[in-house]
Chains A and B, each alone.
Chain A
Amino acid sequence: MKIACIIKQVPDAEARIKAAGGAVDLEGVTFVIDGMDEYGVEQALRLREGGLDAEIFVLALGPKRFEEAIRTALAMGADRAIHLEGDMALDPISQAKILAQVIQKEGAELVFVGGKEADWDSAALGAALAEALGWAFSDWTTEMGVEGSSLTLTHDTDDGSETLSFNLPAVISTQQGLNEPRYPTLPNIMKAKRKPVDKVNLSELASAGKTQVLKQEIQSKERRHTILTGDAQEAASKLVQLLRQEAKVI
């Protein structure tokens, strides 16, 4: 079986992001493989370690800098990579169409993709990919097993969780709780550089996305820095009043 792991490279969660001139300025930011995608790579490796006969490839759509995330996934243990390289900004629906073509061409039957992306926070790619492929889909998956061509998995719903069973081919979106991704070991980092990375020019697969970005801003919240004065009783009653009337949390 071929397993595809879709990966992205995103700013490190600890990075300070600035917006300048209506666009996010990523100059000097450290990038890492998206943590949500790491769960997928880890799960694929665990399935294989559990006895599943599988070839695991990573599939990344993005600029040249994504190479670093690709190398991380290869160092974790994936066999090879396909990098659809280009600077074009594409919405999740357009990305899904392109990725679906490659997945079908490669003959993968199981696809892992992060539940959402750490940069733009869209949770659309997994669902869009399943739609484009016409395959079964489980989002926010926290547990899974494969038996023959049948999958059993548990995923989060708005109110709790549910356990599903369906047949391959399928798209699985991953999240925290599914597993604990491994560190790439030093020997595997060294082996990874000999693993094949196929480069495909993104512009050969897509011309433009369905949406156009006009402006980007960083979400920021102003704090009020109110200091309540008076004795403890007085301050407490003012605080209760503020929590009731202003914050409306009690």
Chain B
Amino acid sequence: MIDFSLSDEQRQFQALARDFAKDVIMPVASKHDQEESFPHEVIAKAHELGLLNVIIPEKAGGLGLGMLDEVIIGEELAYGCMGIYSILMASELGITPILVGGSEEQQKRFLAPLLEKPSLAAFALSEPDNGSDAAAMKTRASFEGDEIILNGNKMWITNGGLAEVTVVFASTDPSLKHKGTVAVVVPKDTPGFSYQKIHHKMGQRAAHTAELIFDNVRVPKSNMLGGLGDGFKIAMKTLDKTRIPVAAGSVGLARRALDEAKNYAAERKAFGKSINSFQALQFKMADMKIGIETARLQTLYAAWLVDTGQAHSEASSIAKCYASDMAFDAANETIQIHGGYGYVGEYPVEKLLRDIKLNQIYEGTNEIQRVVIAKHVIDS
């Protein structure tokens, strides 16, 4: 049976997220982008409304929303600002490995406190010298008595340093490759753990991105998710899921691009008529619409696979890769439709292009997604 309808509850989530994007995110998006400042007020309001850390399970006191719920909400939030949405999305990304690899006790211990105040989680896998080649991680974990000691650096970490909990992936012995990896939860104020904010990003400038520094950081062994050798597996299983919200965000941003194009093309006149009467521009908008609808279907499909406990690695890679490439094209074309006005900050469209570029890079570059997809093609 195929059913494309949303539940009553999902429609309400969608309406809430849509209102939130319009009333809370959009009025401040440009300011935080220009100032490269963190939108504390937006995150506080998101927490108040329950839009933050929505996947924390009911057992840990959370709402326990599914992936379909998350992507329905995500599309709406990203319509308002992809950079601000990334903060919330990256927090769910930080929570996911604790759900994937953590015990019920660990889930309660690490996640329940996140619900008490506007708190974030972070996911620390990439390093200054390696991103896609995650198994080549250099951050070292060693065991001493009941403690794990971490040393090394992590790079491009969204919410890095601001997060109450950070899941850090490290290797006990690089010669063991995947089998030497661990996933360790590091609380915010652990001695030896510091961060450096990364400035001058091209887009998504409201989101805080940092390099994390671990200098003899000691945490209890009970902070390790799964066992020795599980780190890489937990990271990959996490990304198989969390790239779906990246796809949802891309769809939301593309929808914004189309709305901006549609509004501008209706107002702007050339040769005595509205420019939306020219097929050259109509076709651009039609292509955007084709991309948005098809990318959303793939995103919802991948989310449905997750929620129904089915294999979703390939579907989520297709969704992330296709939706972010599609949204990049949509943002690019909406600038073209706006002409010179699209190239300056007076209209929000140049920001869309700067913001969406990152969706083709983070949570696995689109090249890595194609590697995953091709592997499924060849191996199946």
**CB contact list, B11-64 vs A, under 8 A:** 11-13, 15-16, 19-20, 48-51, 54, 63
Task: Name the CB-closest residue of A to B54.
Answer: A186
Contact A183 B49 (CB under 8 A): yes
Asked if A193 is an interface residue, CB under 8 A from chain B, the answer is yes
Closest CB in chain B relative to A186 CB, distance in Å:
3
A67-B8, A190-B63 are known contacts. Are A183 and B13 too (CB-CB below 8 A)? no
Q: Does B9 contact A (CB under 8 A)?
A: yes
Asked if A189 contacts B48 (CB within 8 A), the reply is no
> Within A59-75, which residues are at the interface with B (CB < 8 Å)?
67-68, 71-72, 75
Q: Which residues of A contact B19 (CB under 8 A)?
A: 183
B48 contacts which chain A residues (CB < 8 A)? 185
The residue of chain B having its C-beta at the shortest distance from the C-beta of A32 within the complex is B15
User: Judging by beta carbons under 8 Å apart, are B8 and A186 in contact?
Assistant: no
CB-based contact A184/B20 at 8 Å: no
In this complex, what residue of A is CB-closest to B51? A186
Decide: A75 and B63 in contact? CB cutoff 8 A.
Answer: no
Q: Is A187 located at the chain interface by the 8 A CB criterion?
A: yes
Q: Is the interface of B mostly helix, strand, loop or mixed?
A: helix
A68 and B54: CB pair below 8 A?
no
A184 to B14: give the CA distance in the assembly, Å. Answer: 12
Minimum C-beta distance from A104 to chain B (A): 31
Binary interface encoding of chain B residues 2-14 relative to chain A, with 1 for a CB under 8 A from any of its CBs, else 0: 0000001101110
Q: Please count the residue pairs between chain A and chain B whose beta carbons lie under 8 angstroms apart in the complex.
A: 39
In Å, the complex CA distance between A37 and B48 comes to: 23
What B residues does A186 contact at CB under 8 A? 13, 16, 49-51, 54, 63, 65
- Count of B interface residues, CB-CB < 8 Å: 16
In the assembled complex, the CB of B27 is this many whole angstroms from the nearest CB of chain A, namely 15
Cα–Cα, bound, A65→B173 (Å): 61
Residues of A near B9 (CB, < 8 A) are 189-190, 193
Residue of B nearest to A33 (CB): B15
Within 8 A of B (CB), among A156-192: 183-190, 192
Question: In the complex, A92 Cα to B264 Cα: how many Å?
Answer: 42
Please give, as numbers and ranges, the residues of chain B lying within 8 Å of A68 by CB-CB distance: 8, 11
The contact string, 1 if C-beta is below 8 Å from chain A, for chain B 142-153, is 000000000000
Q: CA of A75 to CA of B12 in the docked complex: distance in angstroms?
A: 9
Inter-chain contacts of A75 with B (CB < 8 A): 12
A–B complex contacts, Cβ < 8 Å, 17 sampled: A32-B15, A68-B8, A71-B12, A72-B12, A183-B19, A183-B49, A184-B12, A185-B16, A186-B13, A186-B16, A186-B49, A186-B50, A186-B54, A187-B63, A189-B16, A190-B63, A192-B12
The 6 closest A-B pairs by CB, nearest first: A186-B50, A185-B50, A189-B12, A185-B49, A187-B50, A183-B49
Interface residues of B (CB under 8 A from A): 8-9, 11-13, 15-16, 19-20, 48-51, 54, 63, 65
Q: A185-B50, A190-B9 are in contact. List 14 more A-B contacts (CB 8 A).
A: A32-B15, A72-B12, A183-B19, A183-B49, A184-B16, A185-B16, A185-B48, A186-B13, A186-B50, A186-B54, A186-B63, A187-B50, A189-B12, A193-B9
Seen from chain A, the residues whose Cβ lies within 8 Å of a Cβ on chain B are 32, 67-68, 71-72, 75, 183-190, 192-193
